[in-house]
Amino acid sequence: MSLMRQIAWLVLGVVLAALVGAVGLSTLSAQQLMRTQLELKNADNAQALALALSQQKGDAELIKLLVSAQFDTGAYEFVRWRGASGETLFERAEPPRPGQAPAWFRDLLPIEAAPGVAQLSNGWNAIGAVELKSHSSYAHDALWQSSRRLLAWLLVVGIAAAVAAWAGLRRIRRPLDAAVAQAEGVLAGSYGQVIEPRVPELQRLTRAMNAMVQRVRDLFEAQAGQLLVLREQVHHDPLTGVSTRKHFLAELDSALQRDDGPAIAGLVLVRLRDLPGLNARLGRSTADDVLLTLVTALRAYPESVAGCRVGRLNGGDFALWLPAEGVAAETAHALADALRASLPAFGPGVQVALGAIELPRERPSSVWLGEADAALARAEHLGEARGGFVVEIVADPGVGREQGEALWRSQLHEAVVQRHGRLVEFPVRDRGGRLLHLECPLQLRLDADFLPATAWLPLAVRARQTAVVDLFAVDLALRAITADGQPRCINIAPASLADAAFLPQLRELLGHAPQAARGLLLDLAEAAATEHFDRLLELGRQLRPLGVKLGLEHAGAGLAQVEKLYQAGLDYVKLDASVLLGVAGEAGRAAFVRGMVIMLRSLALKVYGEGVVDAMDAQALWDCELDGLTGPWVTASLRG
């Protein structure tokens, strides 16, 4: 039983005890008073009657007449005249009247008053005695009525006291509930502050809780800051601040595997030619300034276009990943123009070669790097003959689909209406091999084939059809969960959150299958926490009461920059493959992953790893205490 309920019962018991005690004491006092009053009445009436009878000089008839008259004028049980020797000479009596008081009340509180007795005389001679007794039923009736009135008044007072006590308890409970909610919030990863109440004891409790929560928040923020520092040390080149070769290649592999990018993307390689010669001619410090100037031009693209990545492949080679179609050539020429304007300030002999390619994203990363290296080699060869800045562009002929937006919109709409879609299932398993849930990317049948999201999602974003497609995927998942009871995870496009009709339609869809909704997980990209935090909060606020679990996918070091991640109300985070790739062979990456896990666990979040391809990486990730893994290695081990 809760503390407040115990206090409420205690207050109720005290009020009831006070009521019962007050009514009982008052009734007993009234009973004793009425008994005394009735005895006094009997004695006084007996004395008055004896005085009147003594004046009749022993006339028996007159005495009898006066006895009858006295009996008729009062509520007596009996009036009796006894002789000098004690015998009854005359008596008037009637049976006891029932009265209004119930029998149990009369039995519980009897009023037995002694009869009044007075001596009769004729001059100096005693002629007997008179004895009378009044009915006690009238006293019981009066006691019954007064007790009822008293009980009614005390009940009114008791109810008023109970209401006042309830209001007081509610006032006390409010800061207690706030303290409990604050403590539960800490367990759930939320670090909110509570307004201090006026009650001194509760004020001290709230102040202590606020101080504790602030300390935990400070620890979390300090840990996030340490992760940022570790991220810079592990993932970024110490001179230029861009990604190292290993991390950039991991980001490239991860970008090629995602389903939320364009069907065709670009890669630009930039080479500062003859870096050793520049170090010898200009000096190490000036050569570093040349590299920083080059990187400044490259960094302008990630700052303005979401999803761009910049990395340093070796001493003078840099790469720029462009998750967009038809911009590689333009970007390469713009970079060349920017470098032509800035690099000559360092003197003659500073030359740059650029190679740019555009390919479908389903090509493996080895093809991308091979084609880009070939374009860069040709540009460098031409640069030896021409000098200065040379750009070489290679585009895969015939890539892309030459279809209008109206046609794509029609095909997507038809695929959803005709239910030409299916969920492909990939397991997420814990260290013991138990299935945690199934990741279920949606494939749509456009034309004659089922196409993965890498083919149709960019078109759905362009045609503003992501909300309709995501609702279709959720419906398929709910039906599958209803059929076999296995939890399933669906990806939600960030563009769907911007659709005002998406969330109400999603709630309605989940309301039709409340049991299956408890087995549904929704993945959102890391950008949902960094760029659409308010929409993420609203999504969690409306869906978590339905039992739906919410998480972030493709999460990386950017999570350490989310200042209010502890308020997001998430259930899990899936770390991106670019963060996890090669963790077995690099202690710094393993330390960064372990730090991410500790930080996210402090927010009561489950942590899963994406895109695991190597058994050694998997073992290293289990050592980092991840809750589950998914990827080619997990699927292959299951088949094996």
pLDDT in tens, 500-527: 889 999 999 999 999 999 999 999 887 7
Residue 39 domain-assigned (yes or no): yes
Q: How confident is the model at residue 558 (pLDDT cuts 50, 70, 90)?
A: low
Model confidence pLDDT, tens digit, residues 319-328: 998 888 788 8
Tens of pLDDT, residues 293-303? 999 998 888 76
Beta strand 628-629 with 606-609 is parallel
In this predicted structure, the answer to whether residue 261 has a pLDDT above a threshold of 70 is no
Cα(626)–Cα(229) distance, integer angstroms: 22
Per-residue pLDDT, averaged over 536-543, amounts to: 86
- pLDDT category of residue 484 using cuts at 50, 70 and 90: very high
pLDDT band with cut points at 50, 70 and 90 for residue 259:
low
Q: Considering the domain boundaries, does residue 213 fall inside one?
A: no
Average pLDDT over residues 174-194: 67
Q: 123: domain CATH number?
A: 3.30.450
pLDDT at 560 over 60: no
Of 139 and 228, the one with more pLDDT: 139
201 assigned to some structural domain: no
The number of beta carbons lying within 10 Å of the beta carbon of residue 12 is 14
How far apart are alpha carbons 500 and 203 in whole angstroms? 43
Average pLDDT over residues 186-203: 66
Residue 510: the pLDDT is: 93
Asked whether residue 207 is domain-assigned, the answer is no
Task: Give pLDDT, residue 440.
Answer: 93
The whole-number average pLDDT for the span 181-196 is: 66
Residue 187 contacts by C-beta under 8 Å, 6 or more apart in sequence?
604
Least confident range of 275-289, 454-468, 585-599: 454-468
Residue 548 has pLDDT above 90, yes or no: yes
Question: Which of 199-208, 274-283, 318-327, 480-489 has the least mean pLDDT?
Answer: 199-208
Note the pTM of the prediction, 2 decimals.
Answer: 0.63
Burial 487-526 (b: 16+ CB within 10 A, else e): bbbbbbbbbbbebeebbeebeeebeebeebbebbbbbbbb
pLDDT at residue number 429 = 94
The residues that bridge with 606 in the sheet, in sequence order, are 572
* SS3 of 300-311: HHHHHCCCCEEE
Residue 132 lies in a domain: yes
User: How do residues 358-389 score in pLDDT, each as one tens digit?
Assistant: 888 778 888 888 888 888 888 777 766 555 55
Contact indicator for 428, 634 with CB cutoff of 8 Å? yes
pLDDT exceeds 60 at position 497: yes
The residue type of 260 is D
Q: Are 396 and 359 in contact (CB under 8 A)?
A: yes
Q: What is the pLDDT of residue 536?
A: 82
Based on the fold, state whether residues 364 and 433 are members of the same structural domain: no
311 Cβ neighbours under 8 A, 6+ residues apart: 242, 243, 244, 245, 247, 248, 249, 251, 318, 319, 321
Question: Last residue of some domain: 159, 190, 222?
Answer: 159
- Residues ≥6 apart with Cβ < 8 Å to 409: 463, 465
Tell which wins on pLDDT, 315 or 411: 315
Q: Let me know if residue 224 belongs to a domain.
A: no
Instruction: Tell me what percent of the residues of the chain surpass a pLDDT of 90.
Output: 18
- What is the Cα–Cα distance from 69 to 264, expressed in whole angstroms? 125
Q: Same structural domain for residues 362 and 415? A: no
Q: Are 31 and 120 in a shared domain?
A: yes
Residue 168 domain-assigned?
no
> Could you tell me which residues come within 8 angstroms of residue 84 by beta carbon, excluding any fewer than 6 positions away?
126, 127, 128
User: What are the Cα distances from residue 145, in Å, to 138, 173, 342?
Assistant: 11, 41, 106
Angle at 250 between CA 247 and CA 253, to 5 degrees: 155
Residues 367 and 409 in one domain: no
| Largest separation between any pair of C-alpha atoms in the chain | 167
Residue 575 or 183, more confident: 575
Query: What is the rounded CA–CA span in Å between residue 416 and residue 470?
Result: 10
Is residue 50 pLDDT above 80, yes or no? yes
Distance CA 105, CA 125 (A): 46
pLDDT of 143 reads 83
Whether residue 414 sits in one domain with residue 343:
no
The residue from 351, 370, 395 where one domain ends is 395
CB atoms within 10 A of CB 563: 10
Residue 398: what pLDDT?
A: 39
Q: Are residues 518 and 376 in the same domain?
A: no
* Averaged pLDDT for residues 198-204: 69
Residue 400 above 50 pLDDT?
no
* 304: in domain: yes
Domain that holds residue 71: 3-159
Distance between CA atoms of 538 and 521, rounded to whole angstroms? 16
Q: Are 503 and 539 in contact (CB under 8 A)?
A: yes
What's the pLDDT at 397?
40
The pLDDT value recorded for residue 572 is 92
pLDDT digits (tens, 9 = 90+) for 608-636: 999 898 899 999 999 999 999 998 898 88
C-alpha–C-alpha distance, residues 355 and 268, integer Å = 6
The reported pLDDT for the residue numbered 329 is 85
Nearest-10 Cα torsion for 48, 53, 56, 60: 170
Amino acid at 99: G
Residue whose C-alpha is closest to residue 394's, from 381, 418, 375? 375
Do 21 and 117 have their domain in common? yes
pLDDT, greater one: 156 or 519: 519
How far is residue 583's CA from residue 618's CA, in Å, rounded to a whole number? 9
Ramachandran bin of 530, using left for φ above 0, alpha for ψ from -120 to 50, beta for the remaining angles: alpha
Token pair for 593:
């992953």
pLDDT at 29 (0 to 100)? 85
Cα distances from 618 to residues 223, 263, 428, 435, 574, in angstroms, run 25, 30, 13, 16, 14
pLDDT of 273 reads 84
Cα 106 versus chain centre, distance: 62
Length of the chain: 640
Here the CATH number for the domain that contains residue 274 is: 3.30.70.270
Residue-level pLDDT at 436: 94
pLDDT averaged over every residue in the chain: 81
Give one word for 389, left, alpha or beta, with left for phi > 0 and alpha for psi -120 to 50.
beta
Band the pLDDT of 333: cuts 50, 70, 90. confident
The number of folded domains in the chain is: 3
Report the pLDDT averaged over residues 347-361.
84
Q: Looking at the structure, do residues 426 and 367 belong to the same domain, yes or no?
A: no
Q: What is the dihedral of CA 490, 492, 496, 497, to 10 degrees?
A: 120
Tokens representing 541 are: 């606020």
Q: Decide if pLDDT at 564 tops 70.
A: no
Shared domain for 493 and 580, answered yes or no, is: yes
Phi, psi at 366, each rounded to 5° = -65, -35
Q: How far is CA 473 from CA 341, 527, 542, 619, in A?
A: 50, 21, 19, 33
Asked if residue 426 lies in contact with residue 630, where contact means CB atoms within 8 angstroms, the answer is yes
- For residues 48 and 134, state if they share a domain: yes
Q: What is the C-alpha to C-alpha distance for residues 6 and 21, in angstroms, rounded to an integer?
A: 22
Spatial separation of the C-alpha atoms in residues 117 and 45, rounded to whole Å: 9
379 and 496 housed in the same domain: no
* Domain final residue, candidates 395, 423, 456: 395
Residue 399 has pLDDT above 50, yes or no: no
> Do both 426 and 374 map to the same domain?
no
CATH number of the domain within which 583 lies:
3.20.20.450
In this structure, of 220-234, 451-465, 467-481, the range with the lowest mean pLDDT score is: 220-234
